Structure 1
């Protein structure tokens, strides 16, 4: 009996030793980096992109962005001497907090399609959505929506050869960026002719709609500022600008059913949209765009008056 007890104690100490050793050797979980308005990466990590900043009066600081310029952009004039201008698509990152560096891996997807001639040339701008990702959130002194809509767009039009009107401007994004795309396209249809909200968590938008703007116990947005109520407000507008909308999501995305529910909401409101299912893609922009990338880009290109305009 005494021997059995000693044996049990030895086993227990051995087990504890293994557990403690594993705990010491386990890698620390990476923490989300603190939010910053400027996130410029080393140039070797962003060979396809240029980093820029603009002065944000709304946020009282400079704000960063990345821009992708397509092949042929450096040739400023066409053979007849006219200035070349290109359509521009604003890409809204996923995740929270925001950062213009968060979705720049998508630039390789866009560049490959354009270089292969599958899609006409397009400018892409990667937005910093602020601390709450594409919301104005005064509680954190972070006005991401205002910085994008009121400040970044005019800055881009002034500094790059864009088609500086809604007929040459699109918006898209994945996850939080899909939610942001859906809200902003309905709030500012005068700015965009084409929109592709992808993989958005519309269940959270619906929860906010049903709870006077409360997303969670600690996050309160302005009532009505969600993809359900804004769709209703857009549908009721008599003078609304027409939007071409493509909603994309994969069947293995945990937001899949929520996207179907939101599309039913759009259908009930008689808001036209195109559905694009990314096969069995999970909640991953890379996986979603492997299946839908060209389709999304061509959708935008078809929305624009012409792929490349001159003046």
Structure 2
């Protein structure tokens, strides 16, 4: 009996140790790597390059990835409209969403969509937000005030509002929504996806606080900025919200759509049946609609020729 009890104790101890090890591994996997403004990728999809520019405000390098369409290298007299893609998650990393470029390339290479440039942005320590109290943490300003002008100077873009689009998913969808309403003078096309609008509403209602340890400038959220934009709706911004019905932000995206309707802000939507909280899964089913949405906006504004 004593020996049996001993073996049971050993087995229980081994089980506890195994459980603790698994928990430690799970915790380790969930912990994001330390934030860096430059993240050199090991591999990149066809057409994608990694680049670096020096931030004037921070005096340090910032990384970005850029997809150049099939004709870019040969057609040296041509200028291309550009879509800026804002990644999900925190902290920022310019490589997070580059896998989507494989889909963009397929559409453009087979003629299903017109050729455009896509730029993948590093959103900063608190993705796509400005954090003035932290050193080198003004992610939104680095994007809007520094990366966009750098891309226009360095690549053959249509360097005007009529040739700029904005898109992002999850955290990037929140960033897209805030920035499109703050800077409709910079972008003619915007497609926020899978955005956490319930969190943004809490920020609006709690004087900028997302949680006890994280607060933003009052008014810098998707709800208050939409109200402000609704006062003039100028310049007019064409918007397409996209979300999957199996994603955890599905219901609050529906709530936000109703909110935009109450403000009489026009928008279109792509609701993907059965798609989880994944930009790639949405693109697998209906991504061509999103790419063509930007292309149509560029065409309407004169940045793409009619085909």
Q: Where on the TM-score scale, by shorter chain, does this alignment land: which range? A: over 0.9
Question: Which of 13, 16, 20 is equivalent to 2:13?
Answer: 16
Q: Partners in 2 of 1:95 and 1:102 — Cα distance?
A: 9
- Residues 1:249 and 2:243 aligned together: yes
What is the CA distance between 1:22 and its match in structure 2? 5.8
Q: Check whether the contact 2:45–2:102 (CA below 8 A) recurs between aligned residues.
A: no
Map 1:93-132; keep pairs closer than 5 Å.
Answer: 93-132=87-126
Q: How many residues align?
A: 299
Shift of 1:112: 1.0
Flag the structure with larger Rg. Answer: 1
Is the partner of 1:140 in helix, strand or coil? coil
Match of 1:7 in 2: 4
- CA change 1:139–1:274 in 2 (3 A) is same
Q: Does 1:35 align with 2:35?
A: yes
The 3 A distance-change label for structure 1 pair 67 and 45 is closer
- Residue 27 of structure 1 and its aligned partner are, at CA, apart by 7.5
Q: Distance in 2 between matches of 1:136 and 1:26?
A: 34
Query: 1:308: Cα distance to partner?
Result: 3.8
Instruction: Tell me the SS of whatever aligns to 2:133.
Output: helix
Instruction: Give how far 1:18 is off.
Output: 3.9
Q: 1:205-243 CA deviation, whole Å, 9 max, x = no partner? A: 0000001111111001000000000000001137x1011
Q: 1:261 — aligned with what?
A: 255
TM-score by length of 2: 0.92
Corresponding residue SS for 1:136 = coil
Q: How does 1:83-102 map to 2 (within 5 A)?
A: 83-102=77-96
Name structure 1 gaps, 5 residues minimum: 78-82
Q: Is the contact made by 1:131 and 1:140 (CA closer than 8 Å) also made in structure 2?
A: no
* 1:275 alignment partner in structure 2: 269
> Residues 9 and 258 from structure 1, CA distance in 2 versus in 1: closer, same or farther, beyond 3 angstroms?
same
Residue 236 (str. 1) matches residue 231 (str. 2):
yes
Question: SS in structure 1 opposite 2:159?
Answer: coil
| Residue 80 (structure 1) aligns with | none
User: In 2, are the aligned partners of 1:279 and 1:291 still within 8 Å (CA)?
Assistant: no
Q: Which runs of 5+ in 2 are unaligned?
A: none
Answering whether residue 216 of structure 2 is matched by residue 221 of structure 1, we say: yes
Equivalent residue number for residue 192 of structure 2: 197
Aligned mates of 2:187, 2:222 — CA distance in 1: 16
2:169 corresponds to 1:174: yes
Q: Which residue of 2 aligns with 1:300?
A: 294
In structure 2, relative to structure 1, the CA distance for the partners of 1:58 and 1:45 (3 Å cut) is same
Structure 2 contact 162–303 (Cα < 8 Å) conserved: no
Query: Residue 195 of structure 2: SS of its match in structure 1?
Result: coil
Which of 133, 137, 147 matches 2:131? 137
Q: What is the RMSD of the two structures over their aligned residues, measured on CA atoms?
A: 1.7
Looking at structure 1, the residues matched to 224 and 194 of structure 2 have their Cα atoms a distance apart, in angstroms, of 19
